[in-house]
């Protein structure tokens, strides 16, 4: 038996009173020489208190605050200086005619660095699958992302831009016609001061 094991056994014997079976006789003389009925000496230190400490009340954790950087949509507004762009059916590619509109939007944003921009992606309500809403949400996001990428390429810092997809949920026009559906396939630009 190594010396650490012997010390552990000796301490256990002193703390518990009776000598443990298998304890070497060299460790037992102090106990054996005590008169019968005499109180045994306590060990020089105690590992744990005799009575547990009273529980300390813990204050509840504070409620989480609104995450920083997540904008509230109602804080954004449309302005005439930023124009919408439109997309072909089922597409998220920027049309050549809309590049000029995006360039003008980017120029305004660069000239007004104290404003944040929200780009909404929208779709028309057509689609034949049972996952139409899910697909339109994805398409609206890709349209907003395409507009955002163009603004970033034109020098607008990404930290100023937020994108959001509404899919088909917020149509600009509700008629069932190609003219109306074309108005709903868009990216819309809104701003707010920082």
pLDDT given for residue 161 in this prediction? 96
| Structure-model confidence comparison of residues 183 and 33, the more confident one | 183
pLDDT given for residue 132 in this prediction? 79
pLDDT given for residue 146 in this prediction? 97
Contact 131, 158 (CB under 8 A): no
Give 21's pLDDT tier (boundaries 50, 70, 90).
Answer: very low
% of the chain beyond a pLDDT of 70: 61
Per-residue pLDDT of 79-95, as tens digits, reads 999 999 999 999 999 99
Mean pLDDT across 138-152: 96
This prediction has a pTM of 0.62
Our measurement of the distance from residue 32's CA atom to the centroid of its chain's CA atoms, rounded to an integer in Å, reads 66
List domains and CATH numbers for the chain. Answer: 1-47 (no CATH), 73-193 (3.30.1330.60)
Give 157's pLDDT tier (boundaries 50, 70, 90).
Answer: very high
Contact 114, 194 (CB under 8 A): yes
Contact 40, 31 (CB under 8 A): yes
Mean pLDDT across 45-70: 53
Distance CA 72, CA 3 (A): 69
pLDDT given for residue 125 in this prediction? 86
Average pLDDT value over all residues in the chain = 78
Distance CA 145, CA 149 (A): 6
Give 148's pLDDT tier (boundaries 50, 70, 90).
Answer: very high
Q: Average the pLDDT over each of 12-16, 147-151, 171-175 and give the range with the smallest value.
A: 12-16
Whether 55 has a pLDDT exceeding 80, the answer reads: no
pLDDT given for residue 128 in this prediction? 62
Whether 109 has a pLDDT exceeding 80, the answer reads: yes
């Amino acid at each position: 038996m190594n010396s650490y094991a012997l010390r552990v056994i000796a301490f256990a014997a002193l703390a518990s009173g009776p000598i443990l079976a298998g304890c070497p006789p060299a460790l037992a003389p102090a106990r054996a020489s005590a008169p019968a009925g005499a109180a045994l000496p306590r060990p020089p230190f105690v590992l744990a208190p005799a009575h547990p400490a009273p529980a300390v009340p813990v204050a509840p954790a504070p409620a989480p605050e609104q995450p920083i950087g997540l904008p509230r949509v109602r804080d954004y507004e449309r302005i005439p200086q930023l124009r919408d762009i439109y997309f072909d059916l089922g597409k998220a590619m920027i049309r050549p005619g809309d590049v000029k509109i995006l360039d003008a939007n980017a120029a305004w944003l660069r000239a007004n660095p104290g404003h944040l921009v929200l780009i909404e992606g929208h779709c028309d309500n057509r689609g034949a699958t049972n996952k139409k809403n899910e697909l339109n949400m994805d398409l609206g996001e890709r349209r907003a992302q395409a507009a955002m990428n163009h603004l970033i390429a034109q020098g607008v810092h990404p930290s100023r831009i937020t994108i959001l997809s509404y899919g088909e949920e917020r149509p600009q026009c509700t008629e069932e016609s190609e003219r109306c559906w074309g108005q709903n396939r868009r990216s819309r630009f809104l701003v707010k001061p920082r």
